[in-house]
Structure 1
Amino acid sequence: MLRSELFVWSIEVRGLVQGVGFRPSVWRLAQDLDLAGTVRNTPRGVIIEIASSPQTRDHFISRLRAELPRLARIDEVSIMAAPDQAMPSGFTILESLDGKVAAAITPDAAICPACADEILDSANRRFSYAFANCTHCGPRLTIMRQIPYDRANTAMSKFPMCRACRDEYEDTTDRRFHAEPIACAQCGPGLWLESTDGPMPVLQGDEIATAARVLRSGGIVALKGLGGFHIACRADNDAVIERLRRQKRRDAKPFAVMAHSLEHIALYAQVNTIEADWLASPSGPIVLLKVRSPSPLPSIIAPDQDRIGFMLPTTPLHFLLMQAIGMPLVMTSANMSGEPQFIDNDTACSQLFNIADAILFHDRDIENRVDDSVVRHDTTGATILRRARGYAPAPLLLPQLFYGKAPVFATGADIKSAFCIAANGEAIISQHLGDLDEPATLGEYRRTAQLYMELFEHRPQVIAHDMHPTYRSAGLAHRLAGEFNAVLFPVQHHHAHLAACMAENHAENDATLGIILDGAGYGTDGTIWGGEFLAGNYSGFQRVAHFQPVPLLGGDKAATEPWRNAYAHLRLALGNGFTEGEFKDLPVMRQLSAKPIVVLESLMHNRRLAPLSSSAGRLFDAFASIIGAAQMHVSYEGQTGMRLETLAGPHMETATPFDMCSPLDVAIISWRGLWHSVLHDLKRGADAGHLSARFHQSLIKIVSDMAIHQHHVTSIDRIALSGGVFQNRLLLQGVHAALEKYGLQVLVHHAVPANDGGIALGQAAIAMANQT
């Protein structure tokens, strides 16, 4: 083609395009297409200039999208003709614009296939090296101290590159070009193994093999991972798992299992192609999988569950350990129950020898604590149950209406806390941080919030927070507002759930019916909400229907003692003295009659010690207790709901709903008919599995029927499903299918959790939408 037929094009690319090998990928593509031009980083992303015809330009962009590096993501591409630009010759990677780039901080990435091959190759200089990485994998957020993202500002600053690593780092054609954590055995971090008696007599290079021998013999080994320490033991040994539960004070909460390959996981669980892709992806999450029946693994891994969270090795250290041991391992975070996981060697040394027989340490510091992410595949698509490693802090693009709004910091909730910073049409949600009732978690929240605002140069003008008057996150909001001289913006909890589901689905500000089912959220009337039908959008909402409010006997105790909810529900449905009535011989009645009835009766009318709540979560607790599927005291949030979901699964196709007797033209859904039907079934000897399936079918029907009724009343045809109770797979899939079958548009969560881990996104969206 004649040079006179060429045009110079300026192509701006936004997304995850810095620090991920994007510029070398552009260079190689330009070489392949014989294009002249340049590529450079800018504060907004990457600018590519090429000389080509319009047709070749479009082909170049098409291939650029199709041949992205493993960690890259393109969000936007804008093209402008550059008629004043001189015609280039050759293709060059230029220095960053103005010498300063606010490089996107990409999530930590699981070991890539190329690095895995290298550390297994005895002829490679990184053979058996536990810290191999490249631009396609390795640590990112977990080693960051400050911007800009270069080695000097990370935990790798104390490891000067050797000549061989420097050559790779500076070679445009090498996959380690500008890989900041680049390392090898000559210049990078090292391993050592200790036991309760001090450093173990291990030959250098034999630490992993020795750890594998400890594990194989039935021991417990802790190891330092990407975002914190893990604790591992054999997944086929009941005794050592029981010991781990006892030492960790984790009675029943499920453990995750790590296996060395997809083929190995398939021996223990059913894995479809989507789940296999997630397991092998750069995010490397824990994926909940249906366990094969009969299960080859002991039930103590995940008591009363038919699914186990599986993961593949995420780091070279995990990869080498799994190769050495050749059997599945329980792999759980190294912390005491309810506390943040350990990240520094000194704390691990002082705390973990109460649990582990040996610890694999290394000397690369973990700057930022990041837990493992958890995902599940449903008929509705991906469901993120915990968003952390591999996902945070990747930005989410927001709908167009949020562009140009003042920057916002949203504090999220106190339970499953995560915050959100939003500006320039993007939202960045922090990793899962935990429950703010734990002082160490609260401190970690403050430190992480400060880090994010420094890393992303974020100065909020608005601080959004939950309207609950005693939330710790609301207290943090007041502190931040003072620090930044920002405006405080309180947001109702369930409105935030609705807005979060809308925002992640790129919904514009049109009317939406939110069905929000969760454990608890402070309502505008001062009661505790949790079974809500909200007609609204980002700008506001109206509560058009809700579950029947029921007293929470003992306040917060009702969240951990299911029998309290059973008493309150049955008392409202059957009246005073219900334990001595028609159903007095049922086990639940005998159990409740042994409780302090006089005290409970006084609580039924005491709004200070037993606030009213429309909670869907407590409804599940009540049902589980009534049918004998709940302990007197639960050991983790959602335990009863998960148990009921497992019980119901095999019977869902044949189960029919209970007779609810709750008219749709009344805005309050009553459970009186439900409880009468349940008790009659119990009297007839129905088993817990069939009862649980009927309960799920009843909820699916009443929730869907009410949504359709509200559609006719309000003419709203877009429904958003949110709240932690919608992490119940059967309920989510059932309501989604029923509403879609009716012809309604249904929005569900795919990018953030439906539980409180996602509401910071909704708080930010509401605060921006209400800016004048």
Structure 2
Amino acid sequence: MNAPQRTFAYAPGHDAVMRLRIVATGAVQGVGFRPFVHRLAVSEGLCGFVRNTGDGAVIEVEGDALALERFVARFDTELRHPAQVRERRIERMAACGDEAFAIAASTHERTQFAAVLPDLATCAECLDEIDDPANRRYRYPFTTCVHCGPRFSLIECAPYDRERTAMRRFTMCAACQAEYDDPASRRFHAETNACRRCGPRLALFDAHGRPICMDDDALGQAADALRAGAIVAMKGLGGFQLLADACNDAAVRLLRERKRRPSKPFAIMTPDFDAATALAQVGATEAALLRSAAAPIVLLRAREDAPALAPSVAPSLPWLGIMLPYTPLHHLLMKQLGFPIVATSGNRSGDPIVCDEREAIQTLHGVADLFLIHDRPIVHRVDDSVVRVVAGEPVVIRHARGYAPLVLATQAVDSRGASAVLALGGHGKSAVAAAAGQQIVLGPYIGDLDGSAARTAFAQGTNDMQRLFPMTSPAVACDTHPDYYSTQFAAKLAGEVRHVPHHVAHVLAGMADRGLEAEPVLGVAWDGSGYGGDGTVWGGEFIAVERNRSGYVYRRVAHVLPFRLPGGDAAMREPDRAAFGALHAVFGEAMWSKHVLPPVADAAPEARRVFNAMLARGVHAPLTSSAGRLFDAVSSILGVCRHSSFEGEAALALEAAASRSSQDFALAPAVLRTHANDGMLVADWTPTLAALVEASEAGVDAATLAAAFHDALAQLIADVVVQVTARAATRHVLLTGGCFQNERLASRALARLREAGFEAFTHGRVPPNDGGLAVGQALFATAATHAQCAEHEEKR
């Protein structure tokens, strides 16, 4: 966020009594901001008020000029995280003669987006209370204060006041009301304030939805069931989680079978930080993430000497997704258990996370043995976030609880004249964004839009964004792929629809994330697939993007050599198909003589005939420049992963194999060629693959070759960038797209680019995968509409 600028100071000649009006925007609701201002004003002997508005907060403060100057200075230096002021404006007013300082009733006045805060992990003070037998909140699983607890998941509309949240159904008891009214209390104007007498309660239901017990008994019996190997569906902060003993392989395998999730890794929750460090290697950055208020799932390297986890938690992978307890309910349960548990999304494979108990009992019937629920409604479903450290910096992989909604300030668009934009993202890893003026807000991860439940959740997500961040007649931005559900949904909405090329949106999302909106940037956009618009499937692109008077202009300046993909989308589930296409590009029909390669060795005569025909004639075998499919091909060729049960499994397995390499091995580099027709630079990877096949036939192990392949592609990126930028102005290079979730590829490519003198970046807060597309779409459409407005004004 932008640092606030001082605009007031005492000067000789000022009146003895003055009044200031301060308008503050940013994270100023639901974070103890008004109590902070109240205590600050009272300590300086000042009068006036503070109130929430639809935009943020307004303060009017009156008193001695020197006291006002101290108030402003302390306001800037003493504000406590997670409260954060993005911008403030100060103006002098005539004194009104107020006699006290008050927290005034909220108003709905709005000129821009209010910052709706993400949900916050339980603070240390609240944890001390639930651990203290003498405290009235001892073992109360919904203990919160102004510094922690649910925010986004329970707000209905801004401004953030109790009557506009799911807590309005709970009337505070006398003791809680006294805390709420006491300026000295940590719960002064804490909108989620509650206790065992007046707040939400726990209940335990059996598999058929029949009540068993409540409160502490419910928690105790749920813990006993987990110890015995049962699967418990627990209503958490933003939805249900399916829980199982992570050390009990039979329980984990049963969960996989019931959820129909054969191999995708499960996240686990450990009782505390020490238990996490016993299981995985935790660096300083990872430790800060685990302990942060966002408390995401952090991808960590498993320790070889770790206590035994069930092998089915993360089959054949060297990484664990670990999170710490982040609500009082989680803390109480984990303290009672004392061992790690699987804590995965409460849904059936392919569906969005379930957030309502009635829906959970119906949807998860046959999956969960018990249901641990509470009666606080979840207004916005929000899954657990996932973060990975890449080249020493956190990269959000799944943007959800603790991070969503994310407010990005962009200086590339003047706030005057630009119409609002609702951006719908892609088809996979769907998320929605809203933009107005100089702000873009990215909502939480929804999921893939294949099933009816996911599409219902997507429609609800678009409605939620428009209710929380009201926009007048917004333009609608979406992908160019005609078969994406989000693209089809855009056509049903009122307003102008702007189609944004898939990989351009990837680059722009990273630019917005890294504050590069006004800079010329060379984007390296590598992913599984995206609509290219030229009859081929893109996914290994080098795209130059810059801003001019008409908005953002872009040019595809290089790409990975295309190869045929027999069966098209079927190759996403069957890496062998990608292998046949890549091998055919190198060897032609002679590829069938490479019997040492697993996909060739296992191909039946009829399969060889069919694939030969498809590849030779180009029938149902589209050309693709996808780097993601190239990773799949090598994963199959090396026998690392031949069948994918989830997106990216083959590439993830190849990265895992590379991490086990203990020796250096170099493959032939790619050859860069300039296409005669259009001057496009093409990175020909066939020498690299030919060398890999030759080495495999010679007996070089798969781990060594997997590592060498990653390193060869990192060098390919650097070589292309050097050649392309030799005739371009930019020194800014951005790595974007799902391929750069791969830590080895991203970190080595960044290192090579920086060694070559480039300012090289990848994503941080905005996911590099399709979960960030909506941000790029919003930036593109906002810049275009602003340019149109500016042109119109010039012609008037």
Both structures adopt the same fold (TM-score exceeding 0.5):
yes
Deviations 1:148-187 (A, max 9, x none): 5433343333322222222222333322233333221112
Q: Which residue of 1 aligns with 2:657?
A: 647
Q: Which residue of 2 aligns with 1:503?
A: 512
Say whether residues 1:684 and 2:689 are aligned partners.
no
User: How has the CA–CA distance of structure 1 residues 607 and 9 changed in structure 2, closer, same or farther, with 3 Å as cutoff?
Assistant: farther
User: How has the CA–CA distance of structure 1 residues 724 and 230 changed in structure 2, closer, same or farther, with 3 Å as cutoff?
Assistant: same
State the one-letter code of the partner of 2:94: D
User: How has the CA–CA distance of structure 1 residues 229 and 201 changed in structure 2, closer, same or farther, with 3 Å as cutoff?
Assistant: closer
Q: Which residue of 1 aligns with 2:502?
A: 493
Q: Which residue of 2 aligns with 1:764?
A: 778
State the one-letter code of the partner of 2:86: D
The offset of 1:691, in angstroms, is: 0.6
The offset of 1:291, in angstroms, is: 1.2
User: How has the CA–CA distance of structure 1 residues 595 and 286 changed in structure 2, closer, same or farther, with 3 Å as cutoff?
Assistant: farther
Q: Which residue of 2 aligns with 1:634?
A: 644
Structure 1: distance between partners of 2:108 and 2:349: 48
Structure 1: distance between partners of 2:235 and 2:215: 18
User: How has the CA–CA distance of structure 1 residues 55 and 290 changed in structure 2, closer, same or farther, with 3 Å as cutoff?
Assistant: farther
Q: Which residue of 2 aligns with 1:143?
A: 154
Q: Name the SS of the counterpart of 1:395 in structure 2.
A: strand
User: How has the CA–CA distance of structure 1 residues 690 and 336 changed in structure 2, closer, same or farther, with 3 Å as cutoff?
Assistant: same
Structure 2: distance between partners of 1:148 and 1:98: 7
Deviations 1:88-118 (A, max 9, x none): 6654433335789986432122222222111
Say whether residues 1:513 and 2:525 are aligned partners.
no
Of 629, 632, 647, the match for 1:621: 632
Structure 2: distance between partners of 1:595 and 1:314: 55
User: How has the CA–CA distance of structure 1 residues 443 and 14 changed in structure 2, closer, same or farther, with 3 Å as cutoff?
Assistant: same
Deviations 1:244-279 (A, max 9, x none): 111111111011111121122111112223222222
Structure 2: distance between partners of 1:44 and 1:349: 39
TM-score by length of 2: 0.91
- Return 747-756 or 371-380, whichever deviates more: 371-380
User: How has the CA–CA distance of structure 1 residues 727 and 55 changed in structure 2, closer, same or farther, with 3 Å as cutoff?
Assistant: farther
Q: Name the SS of the counterpart of 1:610 in structure 2.
A: coil
Q: Which residue of 2 aligns with 1:75?
A: 86
Of 668, 680, 697, the match for 1:659: 668
**Native 8 Å contact 1:109 1:139 kept in 2:** yes
The offset of 1:66, in angstroms, is: 4.3
Q: Which residue of 1 aligns with 2:546?
A: 537
Q: Which residue of 2 aligns with 1:13?
A: 24
User: How has the CA–CA distance of structure 1 residues 401 and 377 changed in structure 2, closer, same or farther, with 3 Å as cutoff?
Assistant: same
Deviations 1:707-730 (A, max 9, x none): 111111223211111000011011
Of 363, 379, 385, the match for 2:375: 363
**Native 8 Å contact 2:734 2:760 kept in 1:** yes
Structure 2: distance between partners of 1:700 and 1:458: 43
State the one-letter code of the partner of 2:116: I
Residue pairs, 1:17-416, within 5 angstroms: 17-35=28-46, 38-50=49-61, 60-61=71-72, 63-80=74-91, 82=92, 84-85=94-95, 91-96=101-106, 104-196=115-207, 199=210, 202=213, 205-296=216-307, 297-404=309-416, 405-416=418-429
**Native 8 Å contact 2:129 2:135 kept in 1:** yes
- Return 449-458 or 90-99, whichever deviates more: 90-99
State the one-letter code of the partner of 1:393: P
The offset of 1:317, in angstroms, is: 1.3
TM-score by length of 1: 0.94
The offset of 1:48, in angstroms, is: 3.2
Structure 2: distance between partners of 1:432 and 1:577: 45
Structure 2: distance between partners of 1:367 and 1:286: 22
Deviations 1:32-87 (A, max 9, x none): 4555554333333223344689987676455434433443222123333x163457
The offset of 1:198, in angstroms, is: 6.3
Q: Which residue of 2 aligns with 1:698?
A: 712
Q: Which residue of 2 aligns with 1:579?
A: 592
Deviations 1:508-537 (A, max 9, x none): 333211100001111131311000001122
User: How has the CA–CA distance of structure 1 residues 717 and 55 changed in structure 2, closer, same or farther, with 3 Å as cutoff?
Assistant: farther
Structure 1: distance between partners of 2:69 and 2:301: 44
**Native 8 Å contact 1:271 1:289 kept in 2:** yes
**Native 8 Å contact 1:573 1:671 kept in 2:** no
Say whether residues 1:453 and 2:495 are aligned partners.
no
Q: Name the SS of the counterpart of 1:260 in structure 2.
A: coil
State the one-letter code of the partner of 1:349: I
User: How has the CA–CA distance of structure 1 residues 595 and 197 changed in structure 2, closer, same or farther, with 3 Å as cutoff?
Assistant: same
The offset of 1:467, in angstroms, is: 0.8
User: How has the CA–CA distance of structure 1 residues 471 and 353 changed in structure 2, closer, same or farther, with 3 Å as cutoff?
Assistant: closer
Say whether residues 1:528 and 2:537 are aligned partners.
yes
Q: Which residue of 1 aligns with 2:581?
A: 568
Q: Name the SS of the counterpart of 1:625 in structure 2.
A: helix
Say whether residues 1:440 and 2:453 are aligned partners.
yes
State the one-letter code of the partner of 1:615: S
Structure 2: distance between partners of 1:602 and 1:745: 46
Deviations 1:375-409 (A, max 9, x none): 11222511000001111123221224242211001
State the one-letter code of the partner of 2:562: P
The offset of 1:661, in angstroms, is: 4.5
- Return 249-258 or 357-366, whichever deviates more: 357-366
Tell me, which stretches of 5 or more residues in structure 2 are unaligned?
A: 1-9, 676-680, 789-796
Q: RMSD across aligned C-alpha pairs, in angstroms?
A: 2.5
The offset of 1:347, in angstroms, is: 2.5
Q: Name the SS of the counterpart of 1:714 in structure 2.
A: coil
**Native 8 Å contact 2:21 2:93 kept in 1:** no
Structure 2: distance between partners of 1:398 and 1:490: 21
State the one-letter code of the partner of 2:468: L
Of 750, 763, 770, the match for 1:736: 750
Q: Name the SS of the counterpart of 1:592 in structure 2.
A: coil
**Native 8 Å contact 2:208 2:365 kept in 1:** no
Structure 2: distance between partners of 1:450 and 1:334: 23
User: How has the CA–CA distance of structure 1 residues 753 and 545 changed in structure 2, closer, same or farther, with 3 Å as cutoff?
Assistant: same
**Native 8 Å contact 1:664 1:706 kept in 2:** no
User: How has the CA–CA distance of structure 1 residues 65 and 306 changed in structure 2, closer, same or farther, with 3 Å as cutoff?
Assistant: farther
Identity score, percent: 39
**Native 8 Å contact 1:195 1:353 kept in 2:** no
Tell me, which stretches of 5 or more residues in structure 1 are unaligned?
A: none
The offset of 1:623, in angstroms, is: 0.3
Structure 2: distance between partners of 1:65 and 1:655: 52
Structure 1: distance between partners of 2:110 and 2:541: 48
- Return 565-574 or 228-237, whichever deviates more: 228-237
Structure 2: distance between partners of 1:341 and 1:86: 52
Q: Which residue of 2 aligns with 1:425?
A: 438
Deviations 1:485-504 (A, max 9, x none): x2111110000011111112
**Native 8 Å contact 1:103 1:149 kept in 2:** no
User: How has the CA–CA distance of structure 1 residues 526 and 129 changed in structure 2, closer, same or farther, with 3 Å as cutoff?
Assistant: same
**Native 8 Å contact 2:27 2:115 kept in 1:** yes
User: How has the CA–CA distance of structure 1 residues 676 and 477 changed in structure 2, closer, same or farther, with 3 Å as cutoff?
Assistant: same
